[in-house]
Amino acid sequence: MITDRLDFSGRVAIVTGGATGIGYATALQLARLGADLVICSRTTAELEAAAARLTEASGRKCLPVPTDVKSEEQCIAMVERTMAELGRIDVLVNNAGGTRMGPLEAIPTRGWDSIFDLNVKSAYVLTREAGRHMIAQNSGAIVNISSGAGVSGVKGGAHYSAAKAALQMFTRVTAAEWGRFGIRANCVAAGAIASERVSEAWKVAGLKEQEMAKAVPLGRLGTPDDMANMIVFFASDAASYISGETVFVSGGPAIGGTNLG
């Protein structure tokens, strides 16, 4: 049964950006399905509070490791601490990411590099470091978190769109190279997911969620759990023959024409 393949008992998962939003929702599902966790973000107090809630909700171990994923040294240290304290790595969710929007002509080189460091280089470093241990144990699942920007692009986000598209191709090549080690790599692209922080950003930008929802075929904005459902599926044995794919969790395609129904 598929429910048997959603059992993470005895497994260890790393979730970057695991204190809030999509990362927290994913960590909570993994923990409730039996996984022990490592979560990381830059804000220590927020991270420790999230880890305590995760343990209380699931009874599983949750190790909070303050980490700036743009720092190669901190990423390496986080993976080393995971191995030292929990002994293995079965799942890596490269969820940490983000951007500051701006017109192409105004993006400075430093800003471009920063977005690539956050959204692509961090996933590369963590995949490389966690992958060493997955290769040694001949098993593992990597899930990278992209965006609709990486699928179709977004005006005002040339750097972000390019970075997320690069992450999707990195996922595909990882799957092709490491499949022989029993390692799967997949990508989940987020559509209009109304996490708390994203909702606040939309408000600041003057966007109205009710109006945004009208453009979604399913008639609503997504939730962090909508993303977590797909991420956990990809990380589980239920997806044991799926690798190198990107799935867009978007509520349906936005296409031209009229509604004839």
Distance, in Å, from the CA atom of 95 to the CA atom of 16, rounded to the nearest integer, reads 5
Token readout for 150 is 């990486």
Of these residues, 24, 124, 160, 241, which one is catalytic? Answer: 160
- Tokens representing residue 252 in the block: 């349906």
The CB density around residue 167, as the number of other CB atoms within 10 Å, is: 26
CB contact set of 23 (below 8 Å; sequence gap of 6+): 15, 16, 17, 39, 41, 93, 95, 96
Rounded to a whole number, what is the distance in angstroms from the first to the last CA of the chain?
A: 37
Known catalytic membership, residue 160: yes
- As to burial, measured by CB atoms within 10 angstroms (0-12 exposed, 13-18 middle, 19+ buried), residue 163 is buried
Sheet of 246-249, strand order: 62-64, 36-40, 12-16, 91-94, 140-147, 183-190, 246-249
* Cα maximum dimension of the chain: 59
Q: What are phi and psi of 12, to 5 degrees?
A: -120, 130
What are the C-alpha distances in Å from 245 to residues 167, 188, 189? 12, 8, 10
> Quick one: CA torsion of 244, 245, 246, 249, rounded to 10 degrees?
-140
Catalytic residue annotation: 160
